Amino acid sequence: MRSLRIAALPVNNRSSPLQISPTPRPPRFFPRGTPASTAMDGARAGSPRLALLSLALFLFLAPCRAQTCSSYVFSDGRAYSSCVDLPVLNSYLHWTYDQASSVAHIAFRAGATESDWVSWAINPSGLRMVGSQALVAYQNSSTSLRVYTSSVDSEGTTLPEGNLSFGVSNISGKLEGSEMTIFATLQLSSGTTTVNQVWQVGPLQSGSPGSHALSGANVQSVGTLDLLSGTTVASGGSASSRQRRRNVHGVLNAVSWGTLMPMGALIARYLKVFQSADPAWFYLHISCQASAYAVGVAGWATGLKLGSDSSVDHKVHGNIGIALFVLGTLQGFALLLRPKKDHKYRPYWNMYHLAVGYTVIALSIINVFKGLDILDPEQKWRTAYIAIVATLGASAAVLEAATWYIVIKRKKTASSAPKISHGMNGDDGYSNGRV
């Protein structure tokens, strides 16, 4: 067996015979004091702060996640087989449906306070508010929650208590924090699998349900609900699709009735004064009004469709729209019956034509602003239309003054000239030139 030879190491007389080196420090990749080194040191120092920030973010998001229907737990232990996050008004619907007996156990939750009322309804007659069979809840003056049924038979209802077209039992409710819940058992018609649902949140007025907002989410809270599959579809498609159709309706009517119609009237009233514009002004007037009417009819038709799909009936806006369509149509037929300039009935036709025309212009501008109130767009759109109306008004004022100046000057010139017969056309070329 070979022996191992250990060579002696030289020893410094000033050192201990046995020296133990400390554990070597890992090399620094950045010289001390450089920006990179400072950043790394700051990161080490900020680690506790980063952890606290992450914890705070988690605690903030946790309640938000709990607000989805699938993760919600009822405090009294109730459980439902299906639920859906309704698209607007911070609302949720939970239900269990027994298809064999057509019995639905439901719980409707909505964000609300003591000064609000909430409602969930089924409308057997369509996707609208009128005809809805509603469950209503609100905090009354005695600090207790009032929960009852109400049949919505007309617009402007105060949701009086009444029986529904289907059976309702076990109706109750609760208000916890900023959320109100309605519980009920519904006995639906045999074979029911899909229902039209309407839900709403509004303010209390003098201790009773008051009118809810007529724009935004409050007019989008309607759709169909499949009780078996658990799917819900907003009325007329998605909310964005419905909003897009409302925008198209507004643009068509603002351009036609609200802009082109007044422009056509300005052309007829002022260009005819200039003899060089005859008969061009007449054809410009007809072209402008015909285009306005065609586009306006398209806008009116989209309004009818929106009204039939909406859960809210904007009566004044809709009635003005119908009146505009009727008056515009009458103007078109009246043009076909226009007497000749020398006919004895021509002055009466002129008065009718002017009266109906100015009525259409006034109603058009009023209805555009009512539509803006309903649509509630960004302020820039309202400002833009105000600018259009102001421009048309200023143009009318300037042209009115200019044409009167021309007419007066023409009369003075005619009165100082030798009397020469001008036939039936008159001597001023203005009053008899009107259509």
Flag whether 361 is in a domain: yes
Q: What is the pLDDT of residues 189-206, one digit of tens each?
A: 999 999 999 999 999 988
Range of the domain at 386: 243-429
* Residue 410: band (very low, low, confident or very high) from pLDDT cuts 50, 70, 90: confident
| Known binding positions for heme b | 249, 285, 317, 353
Q: Report yes or no: 349 and 334 within 8 Å, Cβ to Cβ.
A: yes
**Confidence (pLDDT) at 414:** 76
| Known binding positions | 249, 285, 317, 353
324: closest CA among 367, 285, 294, 286? 367
Q: What is the pLDDT of residues 314-350, one digit of tens each?
A: 889 999 999 999 999 999 898 888 898 889 999 999 9
430: closest CA among 337, 417, 414, 344? 414
Q: Report yes or no: 133 and 162 within 8 Å, Cβ to Cβ.
A: no
* Residue 233: band (very low, low, confident or very high) from pLDDT cuts 50, 70, 90: confident
- Determine what percent of the chain is predicted with pLDDT higher than 90: 47
**Confidence (pLDDT) at 364:** 95
User: Total structural domains in the chain?
Assistant: 2
Which CATH number characterizes residue 401's domain?
1.20.120.1770
Per-residue b/e over 370-382, b at no fewer than 16 CB within 10 Å? Answer: bbbebbebeeebb
* Residue 85: band (very low, low, confident or very high) from pLDDT cuts 50, 70, 90: very high
- pTM: predicted TM-score of the whole model, two decimal places: 0.51
Q: What is the pLDDT of residues 19-35, one digit of tens each?
A: 434 444 444 444 444 44
Examine the domain organization and report whether 123 and 196 are in the same domain: yes
Examine the domain organization and report whether 164 and 257 are in the same domain: no
Strands (E), 228-331: 232-234
Q: How far apart are CA 341 and CA 407, in angstroms?
A: 20
**Confidence (pLDDT) at 239:** 52
Which CATH number characterizes residue 200's domain?
2.60.40.1210
The DSSP H or E segment spanning 391 is: helix 379-416
Q: Please say which residue of 205, 234, 263 terminates a domain.
A: 234
Examine the domain organization and report whether 229 and 258 are in the same domain: no
Examine the domain organization and report whether 154 and 255 are in the same domain: no
Q: What is the pLDDT of residues 40-80, one digit of tens each?
A: 454 444 555 555 555 555 444 444 444 678 889 998 889 99
**Confidence (pLDDT) at 10:** 43
Flag whether 362 is in a domain: yes
Examine the domain organization and report whether 248 and 213 are in the same domain: no
